[in-house]
Structure 1
Amino acid sequence: MHPRNVWRALSAPGYLLSAWPWRAVAYLVTGALAGAVTLVGLVVAVALGSVLAVVVVGLPILVLTALAGIPVARSERHRLRLVDRDPVPVRHRRQPPATGPWPWLTTRLRERATWRELGFALLFALLLWPVDALVVATALALPLATVATPLLMATVGDGEEAKVVKLWTVTTWPTAFGAAVLGLLLLALGAYALGLTAGARAALTRVLLGTPREADLDARVVELARSRVRLVDAFDAERRRIERDLHDGAQQRLVALTMTLGLARLDAPPGPLADQLAKAHGEAGRALEELRELIHGIHPKVLTDHGLAAAVDDAADRSAVPVDVRLVLPGRLPRAVEAAAYFVVCEALANVARHSGADRAEVTGGHGDGRLFLEVRDDGRGGAEAGAGSGLTGLADRVSVLDGRLSLSSPPGGPTLLRVEIPCEWTERFA
């Protein structure tokens, strides 16, 4: 099994004969070059921005300098693949509220990751790249110069003497070849030193530019919440599509069939055929009523066209228990909020009719402080539980997706009170 990073390669046999020492050299050399370029770019940008700040032109340059860590971090994540094949978890980036350079700029400047990456860019430009260059020079230059001692003695010293890295003089060939052997040993040790340095640099980069466990968990939670909202929106859109297809397709065909059977019944002479047509006409009428109830249960058209208040009034009119409605909503709310609130009210009224033994129910609510609040109250026997087959558990999950809360109070003997709160803002206000 091939090592995934230079750390594991160091402990594996055959490290010196593998590509990992060369990859470590490439990582450190490109790091030294990139760090020098970063230092020059930052110094030039800060100096130019400071000089031109008196004529306002320099202020945008200084602001853009604060974003210098973003390209540096992206480049470092790509360079990291030289010595570490495992992907670096990228920090979660917020989406700008609108398109255009200004929303993007303000969003980036408010993110902690932007300033963390700027700090890494400064560390990289001021400290890390000189260390990379020093290690490469020490681990390669000294051993290679020592290995080249016989060659230097034969060419530069005319076979009489050679200076090894200007530190000591070699005057005999045995000593020169001994220095070459020593250089090979130092080169092997240097290869390990380069691997250790590259591994340490890669680990530091991963820590500074990667996503901490807590931040990664927060990002996952945020993405999970967003995916749940998207699923709810997609589910509501699919319900509306099914309702529209049934209303405009199957229901219209069934209406036409009912009218055709009615006309045929009128034209048929009395007898068995007329009786069968009457029976078929009645069955078609009942099927039409059942289809209308099914369509209404999937997603009522009144909710789409006229909003939550009208839909709740319609649900109250169809309830088996008399319902008083006092719902003040002078506008439209987000579709997902209206759908969730409507189905909670419908399920609550169905429970009142089936289980409570109540003589009367009441639906009240409104919008205030950025929240929709609804209450469904009945004068029944009480003792209701949200998880005891009431159907409210799934609706509570749906409300929670919208950051809302659903609470149920139903002491034995009543009354039963169901309360829903969902944070939302108006999408349309009526005069």
Structure 2
Amino acid sequence: MAFVATSSSTTAISASNLARSTGSPSEPNEVAEKVEVEDYEQLAKQLENASPLQIMDKALEKFGNDIAIAFSGAEDVALIEYAKLTGRPFRVFSLDTGRLNPETYQFFDAVEKHYGIRIEYMFPDAVEVQALVRSKGLFSFYEDGHQECCRVRKVRPLRRALKGLRAWITGQRKDQSPGTRSEVPVVQVDPVFEGLEGGAGSLIKWNPVANVDGGDIWKFLRAMEVPVNSLHSQGYVSIGCEPCTRAVLPGQHEREGRWWWEDAKAKECGLHKGNLKQDAQEVPVNGTANRDLFEGKNLVALSRNGMENLLKLEKREEPWIVVLYAPWCQFCQGMESSYVELAEKLAGSGVKVGKFQADGEQKEFAKQELQLGSFPTILFFPKHSSRPIKYPSEQRDVDSLMAFVNALR
């Protein structure tokens, strides 16, 4: 079923409006109301192969002053550049959570000066922030997840900002998070937030770079010589609040630098909840619905009892390395070949290589007893110690894993 919504170009001509324009009296039913509507699913199909510049131009043309660009302080500056290139007037807003990096604030200032604009900042409610910090402390998100903090500092301010608009423009890309954003359309009726007129279908969401590769975004930024956040040169790719963002290593996916202590599927703040493929439950991605991971003759699949027995042993005949994984996790999928190769290299060495599927009903056990923070978690069970040692690095190539084992066995 296609969503149909009223755009800002909607023309509603009532009898009373007509009477005012002509100065003549009219009866209430003399002129029928006319409303221009648009099928945004169909428009998305029409624009699927359009360039970001074409999509931006269409968005600004349709909504004028009732649309604004959501600017996060990262590569969203590409959206501002595209808007400038259309030659049309445009608005930019940003969410200042109060916990951004100093470099991000400096970047905001540079962008305003470069484009001659004023960014419309939205701030969290001071009373809500105060209540959260007083009751749970400054860093509660490390213990119980980032959603509550993001709801106070980001989602609610965004909701207020959008209530003054009929449409907004975001920098969502399909390749940012293949497990959650892979079906982002270039334009859609916003499935979560409400716009100026209120109610379902009152806000249109434009994603001009949805089909653009992250590498191509950066080629564009370099070619146009626009300001960029200096954090990017320090290894930061996806940039959010300072406590919840860190640099990533070469070869790591950009979202691994966000909320790194949580599951891969949870790496969203709630601003784009309506576009998530995996929202309320763990959903297999990349075609792994019917297959397990880490299959190999040198790998031992451990049951819950097997893991409990490993934990109980104070002296083991052989050390073990075990990966805690979920088949749907894209990061587990990404390390599959290196872990299987590790098992082959360790065959006959006296080190056992195992796997334990720790999602679903086993997740709470894994979190409480096995130090599970996010998938995958890798543990080494030494020969003469009951306490497992958690692999601290996100470098999951076979050489790094082998160095970890060799240092401990």
TM-score (structure 1 length as normaliser): 0.21
Structure of greater Rg: 1
Q: Using CA pairs below 8 Å that are at least 6 residues apart, which structure has the higher relative contact order?
A: 2
Whose helix proportion is higher, 1 or 2? 1
Using the size of structure 2 for normalisation, the TM-score is 0.22
